Structure 1
Amino acid sequence: MDEQRVRGRGGGPPRSRERGPFHWERQDGGGRPGADRRIGRWLWRSTLLLTAFVLAGSQFAADQQAGEHAHLDFFARLLLIAGSALLLWRQRHPVLVVFGTATAAMVYLGAGYPYGPVFLTVALGCFSAVVAGHRRAAWTAVGMLWAGHVLIAHWLYRWLPPSGDRAASWGQEIVVAAWVAAVVTVAELVRVRREQWDRERAERAQAARRRADEERLRIARELHDVLAHSISVINVQAGVGLALLDSDPEQARSALTTIKAASKEALGEVRQVLDALRTPGDAPRAPAPGLDRLPELVEQAGGAGLTVEVRGAAPKLSPGTDLAAFRIVQEALTNVVRHSGSRHARLRVDEADGALTLCVDDDGPATGADAGGSGNGLAGMRERAAALGGTIEAGPLADGGFRVLAVLPLSVKEDR
């Protein structure tokens, strides 16, 4: 779409066919045309019903109070309609509406017209202003109306119609004050409850985003660990196969067999992760790997030219701890294959003081271009350990090798 079509023929900002004198927009800026139209229709209908009720109720009050107040003439009806019509803007301009309805009610009372449902417009205007967050404006407008009523009923009545009017009783002022307090109290309660709903909705949305972020990190760790280990094995075996293709075809065939097995396993684990993404509510089709697959992991490392010496045995672990331990050992051995010149590694598995200790050492030295690595492997190991309340220590040894030491608590309450 070109700029001329976006901006219109006159070069100005685009115009909406739905905009008009009463085009309603949501306060959060995320309104939809259909929702805006429904809000507009609701405001029109509710305001028309309230206007009809105010006019009918005021006429009934005038009949009941005949001779005590001024006759309900055209000006009185105009004030009633104007005060009610202001409520059409109560969502877009609540401050203007609450002061406008209070002013119209004050003029109505000052002209000596009979009491009636004229206060409903002020109550609704005050309610809308308080709920919208304009509490001071609402209190000021209602207080202004009450103060004006006191002045009119106890001092200005001498000079205002109808003639011969008398001062109102202070008991009536107590009733008016109680009415004002009730309106403000109800509005404040609704405002507080609405803020609670907004906070709860925001907390639920934040919790959902946090769960999504945690799930995304978990999947990223799984994919990284699976692919980094398998591709490292494939890379080493592919180099072996190319080097021995002519001089030792049988060894090259063995390397290709290892590549096939490693790639098949990687595809299976990646498919399992992707299936969990597509159907998050379904149970996994295959059990998650654990330390019971250590012999398989050692065999794969041997296929990549790395001899692993294992000491100790793993205790029975919870599924989450078992998976984290397996991935940590897998990533540590992968780092030895990728970043160390040593072809020998030592794995120690211990259980003591309610914690599982995993220690992977190699004799080094670090190899050239890949020595630094991307850092994602160590970061993933630390995230796995931290999720269980454990720790990871990784760094060079004094004799030139490298050590990865993981401590995982055994008494962990897992979410998954």
Structure 2
Amino acid sequence: MVLTVFLLVGTHFAARRQPGRVDLDPLGYGLLLACAALLVARHRHPRLAVWGTAAAVLVYLGGGYPWGPVLVSFAVVCFAAVAAGRRAAAWGAIAALWGGHLLLAHWLYRLLPPPGDGPAGWGAEWVIAAWAAAVVAGAELARVRREQRARDRAERAAARRRRAEEERLRIARELHDVLAHSIAVINVQAGVGLALLDQDPEQARAALTTIKAASKEALGEVRQVLDTLRPPAARGGAGAAPRAPAPGLDRLGELTEQAAAAGLAVRVETSGERVALPPGADLAAFRIVQEALTNVIRHSGSRTARVRLGYAPRELELRVDDAGPATAAGAAGGGNGLVGMRERAAALGGTVAAGPRPDGGFRVRARLPLRPAGTVARAGQGQGAHPDPAGGGRTATEAEGP
């Protein structure tokens, strides 16, 4: 309705300044209404709108009706067609309208109304050409900006999906590492408790105590991981701190004690100059050692394991060895645990290699690049007695199981 009023009222005002042109009659009004209808359809059917408007304007000019908003309607549909990607249709319609206008204004004017009309000046044609070029240039600029905005929206959506997938993968990896280790300890201790329930009740009680402690710790870590899924308001506000810091190598002593409770004697050795690790590397190192010891408990017939931490200026080397042999419960080198280890190391630019040793055991070896935050201690070299990374004054001696 607004477009129709604009065309009709605007044409009436324009006609006052153009004496000698043909007054609007039913045909003229019909052509103006057709242009208004095509303006409404310019977004859904840009090709039809631009060609239909060009034809209506050409018939309008051939009828000798006043110049005015009818040309503005053609500019608008051309703009919409180019912005919608129908560039060929827009350019073709402009060329057809301009060519038709040249034919009408310089050769057919004698045969068309108004009577006594003369040829148009050639200078006006350059004005029309410049006007058409300006319309197309503006439409092309609008099209480029629209496409750029669409690309930016697609890239932002892809980035959001990628971040969501990475977060899901991180949470799945954390849950796997926490649950796999704790359930392995609980499984072993449950078997010990069942076997000794009648013969040695005290030993069975100790096994149940270990199960309770392992399950409590697992629940706490699972709760901490799942807290990241809750909105900030549910966690006590956007600035709320986590309930407990993420585990790192400072808790390696707890890890060896849990392994000892499951019957695995773990020897920890450290070489090189200890440095404070970045949080991501510290967590990855802890989880890699945790998963490697879990695999020894679940899949190896060995009851001893050795963990070696090698600090170098630019990397941390982790090595977990057991004497084997592998049990029927799992195959060496497979499972989600090794995949998770490799993903953790790869996220930091490191590597993990796992496989059988020549002497029949199994080895997990990880290299994590570091940018040390500072030196925290000097550890001895070699494989003698070294301070335990857990910080509790432990030496590299075996932590005997029950």
TM-score, normalised to structure 1, is 0.85
Q: Give the counterpart letter for 1:91 in structure 2.
A: H
**Do residues 198 (structure 1) and 150 (structure 2) align?**
yes
Specify the SS of the correspondent of 2:9. Answer: helix
Partner Cα separation in structure 1 for residue 5 and residue 347 of structure 2: 63
How big is each residue's C-alpha offset from its partner over 1:303-349, in whole Å with a ceiling of 9 and x where there is no partner? 01000111006531111111010000000000000110000101100
Q: Determine helix, strand or coil for the equivalent of 2:316.
A: strand
* Distance in 1, Cα, partners of 2:372 & 2:119: 77
Runs of 4 or more above 6 Å deviation: none
Superposition pairs of residues 319-330 of structure 1, within 5 angstroms: 319-330=279-290
Name the count of aligned residue pairs: 365
1:72 to partner: Cα distance: 2.1
Does 1:348 find its partner at 2:299? no
Range with greater deviation from structure 2 (311-320 or 392-401) = 311-320
Cα RMSD for the two superposed structures:
1.5
Cross-structure match for 2:330? 370
2:163 aligns with 211
Pick from 341, 345, 353: which aligns with 1:381?
341
2:333–2:355: 8 Å Cα contact kept in structure 1?
A: no
8 Å Cα contact 1:228-1:334 kept in structure 2: yes
Asked if 1 retains the 8 angstrom alpha-carbon contact of 2:247 and 2:283, the reply is yes
- Give the Å deviation of 1:159: 1.3
Aligned to 1:31: none
| TM-score of the superposed pair, with normalisation by structure 2 | 0.88
Pairing 1:51–2:4 present: yes
Alignment of 1:102-251 (within 5 A): 102-251=54-203
Aligned residue identity for 2:305: A
Q: Distance in 2 between matches of 1:179 and 1:80?
A: 21
Q: 1:412, 1:118 → 2: CA distance?
A: 72
Unaligned residue ranges in structure 1 (runs of 5+): 1-47
Structure with more relative contact order (C-alpha pairs < 8 Å, separation 6 or more):
2
**2:44 maps to which of 92, 112, 136:** 92
Q: Within 1, Cα distance between the matches of 2:161 and 2:270?
A: 41
**Structure 1 residue 90 displacement after superposition:** 1.6
Q: 1:66 aligns with which of 19, 24, 47?
A: 19
| SS of alignment partner, residue 321 of structure 1 | helix
Post-superposition CA distance 1:130-152 (Å, at most 9, x none): 12111111111121111111111
Question: Which residue of structure 1 lines up, in the alignment, with residue 357 of structure 2?
Answer: 397
Please give the secondary structure, in 2, of the residue aligned with 1:380.
helix
Shift of 1:251: 0.9
SS at match of 1:237: helix
Q: Which amino acid aligns with 2:129?
A: A
**Offset, 1:353:** 3.7
Corresponding residue of 2:269:
311
The alpha carbon displacement at 1:52 in A equals: 1.1
Tell me if structure 2 keeps the 8 A contact 1:240–1:255.
Answer: yes
Q: 1:334 to 1:97 in 2, by over 3 A?
A: same
Do 2:275 and 2:372's aligned partners in 1 also have CA atoms closer than 8 Å? Answer: no
Give the percent of matched residue pairs that are identical in Structure 1 and Structure 2.
69
* Equivalent position SS for 1:64: coil
Q: Measure the CA separation in 2 of the matches of 1:279 and 1:53.
A: 52
Q: CA deviation at 1:287?
A: 0.5
Structure 2 CA distance for aligned equivalents of residues 65 and 77 of structure 1: 17
CA distance in 1, matches of 2:315, 2:162: 28
Whole-angstrom CA distance in 1 between matches of 2:65 and 2:228: 72
* Alpha-carbon offset, residue 111 of structure 1: 1.0
Residue aligning to 1:23: none
Q: Secondary structure at the match of 2:145?
A: helix
Q: Is the 8 A contact 1:388 1:412 kept in 2?
A: no
Does the 8 Å CA contact 1:130/1:188 hold for their aligned counterparts? yes
Instruction: Indicate the SS of the match to 2:16.
Output: helix
1:348-386 per-residue CA deviation (whole Å, 9 max, x = no partner) reads: 001114100000000111001333586110010001001
Q: Distance in 2 between matches of 1:273 and 1:175?
A: 69
Contact 1:340–1:371 (CA<8 Å) still a contact in 2? Answer: no
Q: Secondary structure at 1:288's aligned position in 2? A: coil
Q: Give the 3-state SS of the residue equivalent to 1:277 in structure 2.
A: coil
Amino acid at match of 1:149: H
The DSSP-based 3-state class of the residue aligned with 2:218 is helix
Match of 2:255 among 280, 283, 297: 297
**Alignment partner of 1:333 is 2:293:** yes
Amino acid at match of 1:52: V
8 A Cα contact 1:393 1:406, kept in partner: yes
**SS class of match (2:275):** coil
Shift of 1:88: 2.1
SS of equivalent residue, structure 1 residue 364: coil
